[in-house]
């Protein structure tokens, strides 16, 4: 079956759902829900997934885009979570999504306020994380050995690093996503290729589905409903114990940090095991994160970064920089809500990133976890529904294993040529949609034809991520709107 998702397929499959019956109805189109849909479909179950907005509309697009090997969980003594992370990182990097997850060197500079003892502790952590890599059988060719580097190499990789008192740095390697929303779309399309219906703009409430494009309601017939709504899970499974925590990032131009080619980590003063990091992304930008604060009261649909959170990130990172940052360096900001499982007191930063799966009266609730471990969460959930063995460990996502070098290869993997072919007869589609914006016309067209984008917001905010930089979104919006109106774009 085709992996393409688009408006035509959506309408057809929504009609089929109205009159048919499925084994599994997944609610929530984040990484967790899409992972469950893929796992269930790959074990031969009939599956429909409904998402009230767009794929990756919730937390899954606001992550730090790290595919963690578990280093930070080692620091909190959570060995099981650390090992699981290392294993899942290996699966993504070597088998299921090597086109979307790449090795990134991460550097902890040994600056004046990092004592020799702190430096040794960091290196001990890196060595232990490397043992997890080995146990997880991720080859050294994929994630090289951690090592101490000198001042010259530190300043070459991090040109903006503060020179005064710098004694070198500790360097280790971890997994880094091209983009989290693209991972979600790849999982959803792989599920669709195995027969799952993936239906966006469909809300689930009290057993009823509403098509938010037409207002039509239907009562789905499903053996099991899977609640994969993340931080919103208690709306479907009352009594769910969540302790949502907000995390904020800012987006800077790489030039404001001198063009780093490695991630940079700066300790938060007075807070053990907490860091602010700057991660270089393609297209000349750097993401700086991360806050971790409990979020009380009703959850916003789309959380926003507050000024004091932006200031905290800029000030903490500036401690490690030659030139301190200021507000004018910020190109954009974003915030997400972690769906953490409640149960412990203390800082949300210390809460376990474990997941839980609970099946009660035909309602399966999948909670907690993180992007890195979505596959294992899905496996644990679907294990409760069928005795057929899980096969997602060896199931490549669309686009895997890799594509040609260049922008399209990086984002679409082995589908890059197919994406480029959409420009046949319209060569302008292989150019940036407007000056100064990195996205090509074919990417928008592909988003509508194959990736389930239904409107300009889906393209700007989730297929291309242009909205992460305010100026890009503003410059590109008219061109994106125009393309959506263009009949040629419809599949």
Q: How far is the CB of 333 from ligand FAD (least distance, A)?
A: 11
Comparison of 59 and 318: residue with beta carbon closer to ligand FAD: 59
333 touches ligand FAD by CB under 6 A: no
Comparison of 339 and 409: residue with beta carbon closer to ligand FAD: 339
379 touches ligand FAD by CB under 6 A: no
Comparison of 230 and 332: residue with beta carbon closer to ligand FAD: 230
Mark the segment that binds ligand FAD (CB under 6 A) among 106-114, 202-210, 270-278, 343-351.
202-210
148 touches ligand FAD by CB under 6 A: no
Q: How far is the CB of 102 from ligand FAD (least distance, A)?
A: 14
201 touches ligand FAD by CB under 6 A: no
Site for ligand FAD in 25-84 (CB under 6 A): 27-33, 50-53, 57-60, 62-66, 68
Comparison of 299 and 445: residue with beta carbon closer to ligand FAD: 299
Comparison of 69 and 168: residue with beta carbon closer to ligand FAD: 69
462 touches ligand FAD by CB under 6 A: no
Rounded CA-CA distance 10/196 in Å is 11
338 touches ligand FAD by CB under 6 A: yes
Site for ligand FAD in 233-252 (CB under 6 A): 247
Q: How far is the CB of 97 from ligand FAD (least distance, A)?
A: 13
Q: How far is the CB of 57 from ligand FAD (least distance, A)?
A: 4
Whether residue 36 contacts residue 226, with contact meaning beta carbons closer than 8 Å, is answered with yes
Q: How far is the CB of 465 from ligand FAD (least distance, A)?
A: 15
Residues that contact ligand FAD, how many (by CB under 6 A) = 39
Tell me the per-residue interface mask from 101 to 130 with ligand FAD, x by CB under 6 A, - otherwise: ------------------------------
94 touches ligand FAD by CB under 6 A: no
Comparison of 95 and 147: residue with beta carbon closer to ligand FAD: 95
190 touches ligand FAD by CB under 6 A: no
Among 105, 320, 339, 403, binds ligand FAD (CB under 6 A): 339
Mark the segment that binds ligand FAD (CB under 6 A) among 22-30, 90-98, 215-223, 403-411.
22-30
Per residue, what are the HEC states of the chain? CCCCECHHHHHHHHHHHHHCEEEEEEECCCHHHHHHHHHHHHCCCCEEEEECCCCCCCHHHCCCCEECCCHHHHHCCCHHHHHHHHHHHHHHHHHHCCCCEEEEEEEEECCCCCCHHHHHHHHHHHHHHHHHHHHCCCCCCCCCCCEEECHHHHHHHCCCECCCCCCCEEEEEEEEECCHHHHHHHHHHHHHHCCCEEEECEEEECCEEEECCCCCEECCEEEEEEECCHHHHHHCCCCCCECCEEEEEEEEEHHHHCCCCCEEEEECCCCCCCEEEEEEECCCEEEEECCCEECCCCCCCCCCCCHHHHHHHHHHHHCCECCCCCHHHEEEEEEEEECCECCCCCCHHHCCCCEEEEEECCEEEEEECCHHHHHHHHHHHHHCCCCCCCCHHHCCCCCCCCCCCCHHHHHHHHHHHHHHHHHCCCHHHHCECCCCCCCEHHHHHHHHHHECCCCHHHHHHHHCCHHHCHHHHHHHHHHHHHHHHCHHHCC
Comparison of 28 and 109: residue with beta carbon closer to ligand FAD: 28
Rounded CA-CA distance 369/42 in Å is 22
Comparison of 155 and 392: residue with beta carbon closer to ligand FAD: 392
Site for ligand FAD in 269-308 (CB under 6 A): 290
Q: Which tokens belong to 169?
A: 């740095």
Whether residue 441 contacts residue 433, with contact meaning beta carbons closer than 8 Å, is answered with yes
Q: How far is the CB of 449 from ligand FAD (least distance, A)?
A: 22
- What's CA 412's distance to the chain center, in Å? 16
446 touches ligand FAD by CB under 6 A: no
Q: How far is the CB of 389 from ligand FAD (least distance, A)?
A: 24
Binding site for ligand FAD (CB under 6 A): 27-33, 50-53, 57-60, 62-66, 68, 203-205, 228-232, 247, 290, 336-339, 369-372
């Amino acid at each position: 079956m085709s992996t393409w998702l688009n408006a035509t397929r959506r309408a057809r499959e929504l009609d089929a759902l109205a009159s048919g019956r499925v084994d599994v109805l997944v609610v929530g189109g984040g990484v967790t829900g899409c992972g469950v849909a893929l796992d269930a479909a790959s074990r031969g179950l009939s599956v429909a997934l409904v998402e009230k907005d767009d794929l990756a509309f919730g937390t899954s697009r606001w992550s730090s885009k790290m595919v963690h090997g578990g280093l930070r969980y080692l620091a909190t003594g959570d060995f099981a979570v650390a090992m699981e992370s290392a294993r899942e990182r290996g699966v993504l990097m070597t088998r299921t999504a090597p086109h979307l997850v790449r090795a990134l060197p991460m550097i902890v500079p040994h600056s004046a306020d990092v004592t020799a003892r702190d430096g040794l502790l960091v290196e001990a952590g890196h060595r232990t994380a490397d043992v997890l890599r080995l146990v997880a059988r991720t080859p050294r060719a994929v994630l090289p050995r951690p090592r101490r580097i000198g001042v010259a190499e530190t300043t070459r990789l991090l040109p903006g690093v503060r020179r005064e008192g710098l004694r070198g740095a500790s360097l280790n390697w971890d997994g880094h996503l091209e983009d989290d929303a693209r991972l979600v779309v790849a999982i959803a399309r792989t599920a669709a290729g195995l027969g799952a219906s993936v239906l966006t703009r469909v809300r689930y409430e009290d057993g009823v589905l509403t098509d938010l494009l037409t207002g039509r309601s239907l009562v789905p017939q499903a053996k099991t409903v899977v609640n994969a709504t993340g931080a919103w899970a208690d709306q479907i499974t009352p009594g769910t114990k969540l302790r949502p925590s907000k995390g904020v990032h800012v987006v800077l131009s790489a030039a404001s940090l001198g063009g780093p080619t490695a991630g940079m980590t700066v300790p938060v003063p007075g807070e053990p095991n907490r860091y602010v990091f700057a991660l270089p992304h393609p297209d000349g930008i750097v993401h700086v994160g991360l806050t971790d604060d409990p979020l009380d009261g009703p959850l916003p649909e789309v959380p926003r970064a507050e000024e004091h959170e932006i200031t905290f990130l800029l000030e903490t990172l500036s401690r490690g920089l030659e030139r301190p940052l200021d507000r004018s360096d910020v190109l954009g900001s974003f915030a997400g809500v972690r769906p953490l499982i409640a149960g412990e007191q203390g800082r949300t930063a210390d809460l376990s990133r474990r997941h839980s799966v609970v099946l009660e009266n035909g309602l399966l609730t999948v909670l907690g976890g993180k992007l890195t471990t979505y596959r294992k969460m899905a496996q644990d959930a679907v294990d409760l529904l069928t005795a057929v063995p899980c096969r997602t460990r060896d199931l490549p996502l669309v686009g895997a294993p890799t594509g040609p070098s260049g922008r399209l290869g990086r984002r679409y993997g082995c589908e890059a040529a197919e994406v480029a072919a959409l420009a046949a007869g319209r060569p302008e589609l292989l150019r940036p949609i407007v000056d100064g914006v990195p996205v090509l016309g074919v990417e928008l067209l592909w988003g509508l034809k194959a990736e389930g984008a239904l409107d300009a917001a889906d393209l700007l905010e989730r297929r291309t991520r242009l909205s992460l930089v305010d100026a890009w979104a503003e410059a590109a919006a008219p061109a994106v709107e125009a393309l959506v109106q263009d009949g040629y774009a419809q599949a």
